[in-house]
Structure 1
């Protein structure tokens, strides 16, 4: 069965099974992914997480009523906390529902675009278990009438985090979806508990090319937000899918550290300038002085015997006539210009 988005005005769509054996749930995905991340969702049928959150909502007046709702009337949330649910988990949940029944209610809100239908807030695994495996025709659901989509999204996200923490790619998908809906990074930071720097790094996933994202979703637990951010820096500096993917492959296959990825990124972002060859330098030492040449600068410091001084001076000045540039300046400036060459008595 092909992957497609859910129409909020239609019934729940059965998921498809991927070639890897995982269940791909047809949920809306962010634009930076060519395909869904293959990350297992584990949803407990225990009171941990969902019931605690439910009690808090009930005490605050956010909980409206509990109903039994046909599973084909429950639609996915447009900002899902997770995007992939494993085939095995769905089957296990179906078997649990058949043998033990529904221990805790799911959470839904009325679908504002389809009267009589509902949008899932928390409990999508159980809904899919019923749709795919006919575990139960209806599910007991706590209906929240005063939550908007953003508030419901956070409810679902926090419930999932309480049961089993998301991988960083799942968090990135969730945060990016909220940003597309107009939520600021500062608000996401406040509500998620991650600082603004971390939120910026999570957004690195969205800057990666599809080929790299495809590889990341095959290894979601390896690629945290810092590694993804550093890969996005490499891609930004090189604009090369091949180079970025090569670093990602090596990071996984050779089990490199995040520090290694940071070093690779720094090398691409601020490459070392090629070293300039050292200037030509020549030094000749004599018993009575020395002669030095550094590139185009010549320096002579030598003691000349009195009987040879005049002849040496004349010969040196004759050589200088060929290369020295005379200045039209004061005697003091002319003297300064001749200082590099000295003749000692």
Structure 2
């Protein structure tokens, strides 16, 4: 297990808030300890990046709460203009499920934190528990950067994420809203969405992903097959060669599944002559491809 001192600063603060009720919450604000509050006196956090709550997840958690109660308290802060009422910092899903389970009050930990720290905790709790979809995660990062002037490096250090992860996640906000909605709804994955970045017709390909069940590798192969802007034909020349026939597309899909990386088959003019391009997205993928090829040689 990793040394506690090596964990991100904000991670230690959240752990203190929800795990050590008798002491002040280190690094993020002060905790007033655990108590119970009526559910009607809690309000959702308008800064919570999470916008969708899956029905099945709420029902499952609600059933657990009926049996065991709310085991982990909800982290809240007092609303200055509404005495006796609290805003949820972390734990909105538990609050919603508790109401479904018929609970009239829930355990809470009241903390004193500002808007920035409240948003940090809301993002951290959801990201560490993988509860956010990629678009909600990106929107949360973007809000921290735009509202509170974080750099990507600072945000990566605070949240315990790599800078490349932050950069790749933030790029998803460049996609058309219709595709972002598909990611949020779970129709396509974040891997699909990243493969769509830079494609000429990402919305059309997104429809194909849903209708045909295309894998991420197959979408990456489609992206690789597109003619780069620098290679676009000049006026008066044909833009592209003939469309691939079904046999070549089927071969591409088969090779992509077999090798685990994007594969594009390019048919040359001469009969029976062509080219196969293999696309990998990281050193890890290249190493996995090498191992597969070595195994097939054995």
Secondary structure class of the residue paired with 1:169: helix
Task: Write out aligned runs for 1:256-271 (5 A).
Answer: 256-257=216-217, 259-260=220-221, 262-263=223-224, 267=227, 269-271=229-231
How far the C-alpha of 1:86 sits from its partner, in A, is: 1.5
**Superposition misfits of 4+ residues, deviation over 6 angstroms:** 49-52
- Between structure 1 and structure 2, the one with the greater Rg is 1
How far the C-alpha of 1:100 sits from its partner, in A, is: 1.7
Give the Cα separation in 2 of the matches to 1:214 and 1:60: 37
Q: Which ranges of structure 2 fall in alignment gaps of 5 or more residues?
A: 1-12, 238-298
Give the Cα separation in 2 of the matches to 1:270 and 1:89: 47
**Counterpart pick for 2:32 among 48, 64, 73:** 64
Aligned to 1:169: 135
Give the Cα separation in 2 of the matches to 1:137 and 1:256: 45
**Counterpart pick for 1:246 among 204, 207, 226:** 204
**1:54 and 2:12 matched:** no
Give the Cα separation in 2 of the matches to 1:170 and 1:181: 16
Which structure ranks higher in relative contact order (CA pairs < 8 Å, sequence separation ≥ 6)?
1
Give the Cα separation in 2 of the matches to 1:75 and 1:169: 24
**Distance 1:206-1:160 versus aligned 2 partners, 3 A rule:** closer
Size of the aligned set, in residue pairs, is 217
Give the Cα separation in 1 of the matches to 2:124 and 2:206: 30
Aligned to 1:95: 63
Give the Cα separation in 2 of the matches to 1:156 and 1:231: 29
**Distance 1:50-1:103 versus aligned 2 partners, 3 A rule:** farther
Aligned to 2:119: 153
TM-score normalised by length of structure 1 = 0.53
Secondary structure class of the residue paired with 2:118: helix
Aligned to 1:193: 160
**Counterpart pick for 1:184 among 150, 174, 183:** 150
Aligned to 2:111: 144
Superposed CA RMSD: 3.2
Give the Cα separation in 2 of the matches to 1:169 and 1:185: 19
Instruction: Note if contact 1:167-1:220 (Cα within 8 Å) is conserved in structure 2.
Output: no
Q: Which ranges of structure 1 fall in alignment gaps of 5 or more residues?
A: 1-48, 278-345
How far the C-alpha of 1:274 sits from its partner, in A, is: 4.7
Give the Cα separation in 2 of the matches to 1:117 and 1:259: 50
